[in-house]
Structure 1
Amino acid sequence: MSSMNILLDRNRAFAENFDGADLPILPKMRSVIVACGDSRVDPAHILGLELGDAVVIRNNGGRVTPAVIDEIAALAFIVKQMDGDEPGPFELILLQHTQCGAERFADPGVQSALKEQLGVDVSQVAITNHEASLHGDIERLRMAPEIPGYIVVSAFIYDMKSGGIREVVAPIALAD
């Protein structure tokens, strides 16, 4: 049986008991999680998320890229439209993990080969030090004029061996 057939069977089982038709557009926890796309690092499992709890944005390394900034800005805009002039609390959680493939992107040879052979620049997502990259991503958010300063950001590292997460940056408003 192909992977697609397995996934379709799983969806049929999911749809049989589906009760989320009335979930609101805004996530119940008013949170956005930026995490790595690694299949071993699913925020729904790691953080016990239910359907509709949070928006999850996944990419290589769980990094704040220009595309992620655009997505967060668009979400913040929608939240403000729905909430009016006084937007409610809005949290952004950055989640990286140990043993990340984006650590390989720090190798200049890998960067060069990807750039030459595919035209792909991975320098923005390369990770040599998770704590430093998380602090850098928060600074990138602070410097983005399209990201409102009232958004509260925090940062964590998920340990692949223990399954636990460690706080690197406690929740703080981007304007602070």
Structure 2
Amino acid sequence: MTATSILLERNQALAEGFDAADLPILPKLGTMILTCIDARVDPAHILGLELGEAVVIRNNGGRVTDAVIQEIGAIAFMVKQMSGGQGGGFELVILQHTQCGAQRLADPEMQQALKKNLGIDVSQSAIHDHEETMKDDIKRLRSAPEIPDNIVVSALLYDVKTGAAREIVAPKMLGGRA
């Protein structure tokens, strides 16, 4: 049996009692979560999310990269269009975690090897210090012209050993008004 067949069996069990009547296209909590691709870090489990409550973006380290800025900007634009020009704001939670592989990407030798062998620049994904990295990422969002200033941003650090998430940056509107 392959992993795909196991996943399809699990999906069949979900589909048997599925009711999409309560699932609007916009997330119920008005929330987007940016987190790492690490399999130990599933925001639905960590934060107790239900289907339809939040949009989740995942990448190496849960970092604000150029691609993430484009995604957030596009989603904010679509939300504004879907709400008839009202709003467009939502809450963005940056969720990083301890023992992250992106910490290895901070090693200059690793960065050089990836650049030389694969042509990949991982500098935007590298994590030197979680607290500083998340604060820097919020500054990056604040200075990105694609990102509206009515988005509320916070940052959490999840401990993979204890299961606890700790607030690093309290929720604050990017424009500084909340």
TM-score (norm 1): 0.97
Higher mean Cα deviation, 18-27 or 74-83?
Answer: 18-27
Q: Which runs of 5+ in 2 are unaligned?
A: none
Alignment of 1:38-53 (within 5 A): 38-53=38-53
Contact 1:62-1:96 at 8 Å conserved across structures: yes
Deviation of 1:85 (Å): 3.3
Deviation of 1:17 (Å): 1.2
Alignment partner, residue 150 of structure 1: 150
- Matched to 2:84, the amino acid is G
Structure 1 pair 88–111 and aligned structure 2 pair: CA distance change class (3 A): closer
Deviation per CA, 1:28-65: give whole Å up to 9, x if none.
00000000000000001000111100000000000001
Q: How many residues align?
A: 176
Contact 1:20-1:51 at 8 Å conserved across structures: no
Alignment partner, residue 124 of structure 2: 124
- Matched to 1:79, the amino acid is V
Alignment of 1:82-93 (within 5 A): 82-87=82-87, 89-93=89-93
User: Are 1:18 and 2:42 counterparts?
Assistant: no
User: Are 1:67 and 2:41 counterparts?
Assistant: no
Contact 2:89-2:148 at 8 Å conserved across structures: no
Alignment partner, residue 138 of structure 1: 138
Higher mean Cα deviation, 4-13 or 33-42?
Answer: 4-13
Contact 2:76-2:88 at 8 Å conserved across structures: no
Instruction: Could you list the structure 1 runs, at least 4 aligned residues long, displaced by more than 6 angstroms after superposition.
Output: none
Q: How many angstroms apart in 1 are the aligned matches of 2:157 and 2:97?
A: 5
Contact 1:34-1:95 at 8 Å conserved across structures: yes
Alignment partner, residue 80 of structure 2: 80
Q: How many angstroms apart in 2 are the aligned matches of 1:74 and 1:21?
A: 26
Q: Which runs of 5+ in 1 are unaligned?
A: none
Structure 1 pair 66–118 and aligned structure 2 pair: CA distance change class (3 A): same
Residue 153 of structure 2: SS of its match in structure 1? Answer: strand
What's the % identity of the aligned pairs?
65
Deviation of 1:86 (Å): 2.8
Alignment partner, residue 160 of structure 1: 160
CA RMSD after TM alignment: 1.1
Deviation of 1:18 (Å): 1.0
- Matched to 2:172, the amino acid is I
TM-score (norm 2): 0.96
Contact 2:30-2:54 at 8 Å conserved across structures: yes
Alignment partner, residue 9 of structure 1: 9
Structure 1 pair 62–109 and aligned structure 2 pair: CA distance change class (3 A): same
Deviation of 1:89 (Å): 4.9
Alignment partner, residue 101 of structure 1: 101
Deviation of 1:88 (Å): 6.2
Higher mean Cα deviation, 80-89 or 118-127?
Answer: 80-89
